[in-house]
Amino acid sequence: MQRDMDDPFLARKVPMLDPRLFHPDAVDAETAALNADILARLTGAPDQWSAPAAVVRENRAKGLGPFPPLPKSPRAKVVTIDGPSGPLHLRVIAPETPRGVFLHIHGGGWMLGAADEQDPFLEFFAERLGFAAVSVDYRLAPEHPYPAGPDDCEAAALWLVREGRERFGTERFIIGGDSAGAHLSVVTMLRLRERHGLTPFAGANLIAGVYDLALTPSVRRWGEEKLILNTRDIFLFVQGFLRREGDMRAPDVSPIHADLSGLPPALFTIGTRDPLIDDSLFMAGRWAAAGNRSELAVWPGGCHVFTRFDIGLTREALARMEGFVASL
């Protein structure tokens, strides 16, 4: 928004969120069919909490999860750097001459997921945007609870600041991820600013993030419906992440409570059928109130991390991300 400081009615001109986005009629048939398929797959399926997280990870890696694994990129490489507790692996998919670097942090409730489980998304940044995508294989809870994951992401960001130009030929950096990865992206930006006096990122691409670990109203009100996530899942993920320590009101745990001033432009992507929708609505508002450029893309009917599914809504959301990055 172009600010006109001479306009006394500036605040009255700020557009509100269009309520029509939340109307059932706004959901296209393809998105509705995907949601129905997800519910059919997950409703009555074995409870993921009946097995240790390590077993769930192993089964997913073998293709035994509720959804088939995404294809691996043949050009992906692994770079190993020094982490806070030993070697830290970064998965890199890069064009020959990168125009920038996307530091990617995967989701999975801080307990699941891996850097090699979303290569098509990383390829999107390499192919369509010309960015080198660098995904962090951070330590996972509950074996490595808070602050292990944030510590690893902080180390990866500092490595990029130190070595990015020499390795990739550019210092144009953006950061982002989905779900817990969006949370860790914001925590990483805050840590670099607070602990190191660094604000190296030109933008943040944040998808379906969780920013209040005490749980926002939309999470608490969601209930048992298993559309990727439900209330119980989110509660248990938080409990696993904070198994040993962590104040839910501390900015390093719940960045919704942070001083957000001086952070880069951010695009918040969220679907209306995501229990975490309040997290994006609240954080996008706080981001703007702190004086930062904030863009909120709300997608009718989109489930949690719907961008992992090949549907028209995903293609529209990716096009919006492409435009956002191009504008930085």
* CA of residue 183 relative to chain centroid, distance: 6
Q: Is 304 marked active-site?
A: yes
Catalytic annotation, pick one of 89, 104, 257, 304: 304
Residue 269 has φ and ψ, to the nearest 5°, of -105, 130
Q: Is 179 marked active-site?
A: yes
4 vs 150: CA distance, rounded Å: 39
Closest CA to 49 of 305, 232, 274, 214: 232
Catalytic annotation, pick one of 135, 179, 185, 294: 179
152: tokens are 């690893």
Other beta carbons less than 10 A from residue 16's beta carbon: 5
Residue 258 has φ and ψ, to the nearest 5°, of -80, 160
190 vs 323: CA distance, rounded Å: 25
Closest CA to 131 of 90, 174, 78, 81: 174
168 vs 165: CA distance, rounded Å: 5
Place of tokens 């608490």: 220
Catalytic annotation, pick one of 119, 274, 278, 279: 274
* Burial of 256 (C-beta count, 10 Å sphere; 0-12/13-18/19+): buried
Q: Is 274 marked active-site?
A: yes
Closest CA to 212 of 163, 275, 169: 275
Spatial strand order of the sheet with 86-93 comes to 77-83, 86-93, 131-136, 100-105, 173-178, 201-207, 266-273, 294-303
CB burial of 201-231 (b: ≥16 within 10 Å; e: otherwise) equals: bebbbbbbbbbbbebbebbeebeeebbbbbb
Which residues are the active-site residues? 179, 274, 304
